[in-house]
């Protein structure tokens, strides 16, 4: 409430002609929902986001676990994901657009390139940092390699794996908005661009607030799922 109050005061001063009050932003958000433009925008935005996040989660966890288990795969793949994690997305998007055009594939790939390295690195570190004494204990009980992976390494790494999924989801939201701003003005990126260009600043801020709120709610939901799974696993143990 303190933040919203400060926002309202800043808008009334005003600190900038392009900075609406909190009340104006909320009214604009409700208007965008009422006329269907916000729902239509998200119907376009969520498609590449869901595809990109699903691919990033599956490929990222599999690649990270594989790198943590295999020195050869680590040697081959780790530099690639380090470079991808450090590379600025704005510099890569023109190349994506040149190869794949401006459609769904390009936007999904932008999400994948931004989200996957975070998921991979967290899964890799979780497996690699497994307590050696636990692995030694598994060997002493004649556990097979598969049993060591499934019953010791992955459970030990699950905290970092879930942290990577949450970070990957956050980066996916960034990726899809950047893609819609730089590749082609569609979805929520189109709303932000259009309303900013015609000086409808309340609508522009409402569009930005909506994607930030959706990202926060989604990441919070994933965190609650993680806590429930961990409690269920702990109770079963």
**pLDDT tens digit string along 192-235?**
888 888 888 888 999 999 999 999 999 888 888 888 877 655 54
Residue 45 is assigned to a structural domain of this protein:
yes
Domain residues for the domain of 35 are 23-236
- State the CATH number of the domain containing residue 206: 1.10.3720.10
Q: Are 69 and 149 in contact (CB under 8 A)?
A: yes
Q: pLDDT digit string (tens) for 98-129? A: 777 777 888 888 889 889 999 999 999 988 88
Return the pLDDT at 233.
56
Above pLDDT 70, what percent of the chain?
95
CA–CA dist 7, 15 (Å, integer) = 10
Q: What burial letters (b/e) apply to 83-107, b meaning 16+ CB within 10 Å?
A: ebeeeebeeebeebbeebeeeeebb
Q: Structure tokens of 229?
A: 């799974």
CA–CA dist 169, 192 (Å, integer) = 21
Residue 17 is assigned to a structural domain of this protein:
no
Phi and psi, residue 129, nearest 5°: -95, 15
Q: pLDDT digit string (tens) for 31-54? A: 989 988 889 988 888 898 999 999
Residues contacting residue 228 through CB under 8 Å, at least 6 positions apart: none
Q: Are 84 and 125 in contact (CB under 8 A)?
A: no
Residue 138 is assigned to a structural domain of this protein:
yes
Residue 127 is assigned to a structural domain of this protein:
yes
Residue 151 is assigned to a structural domain of this protein:
yes
Q: Structure tokens of 29?
A: 């958000």
Q: What burial letters (b/e) apply to 22-50, b meaning 16+ CB within 10 Å?
A: bebbbebbeebeeeebbeebbebbebbbe
For tokens 């979805």, name the residue.
Answer: 187
Q: How many domains does the chain have?
A: 1
Q: pLDDT digit string (tens) for 66-101? A: 998 888 888 988 888 888 888 777 677 777 777 777
Q: Structure tokens of 96?
A: 């994506």
pLDDT, averaged across the chain: 84
């Amino acid at each position: 409430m303190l933040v919203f109050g400060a926002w309202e005061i800043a808008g009334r001063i005003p600190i900038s002609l392009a900075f609406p009050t909190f009340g104006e932003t909320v009214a604009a958000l409700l208007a965008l929902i009422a006329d269907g433009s916000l729902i239509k925008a998200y119907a376009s935005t969520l498609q590449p986001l869901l595809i990109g996040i699903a691919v990033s989660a599956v490929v990222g966890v599999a690649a990270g676990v594989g790198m943590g288990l295999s020195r050869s795969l680590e040697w081959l793949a780790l530099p690639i994901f380090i470079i991808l994690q450090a590379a600025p997305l704005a510099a890569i998007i023109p190349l994506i657009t040149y190869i794949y055009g401006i459609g769904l594939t390009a936007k999904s790939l932008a999400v994948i390139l931004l989200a996957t390295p975070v998921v991979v690195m967290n899964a890799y570190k979780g497996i690699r940092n497994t307590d050696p004494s636990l692995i030694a204990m598994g060997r002493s009980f004649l556990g097979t390699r598969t049993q060591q992976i499934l019953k010791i390494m992955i459970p030990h790494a699950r905290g970092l794996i879930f942290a990577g999924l949450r970070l990957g989801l956050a980066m996916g939201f960034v990726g899809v908005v950047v893609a819609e701003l730089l590749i082609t003005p569609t979805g929520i990126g189109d709303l932000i661009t259009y309303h900013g260009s015609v000086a409808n600043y309340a609508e522009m801020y409402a569009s930005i607030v909506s994607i930030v709120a959706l990202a926060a709610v989604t990441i919070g939901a994933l965190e609650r799922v993680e806590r429930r799974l961990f409690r269920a696993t702990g109770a079963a143990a």
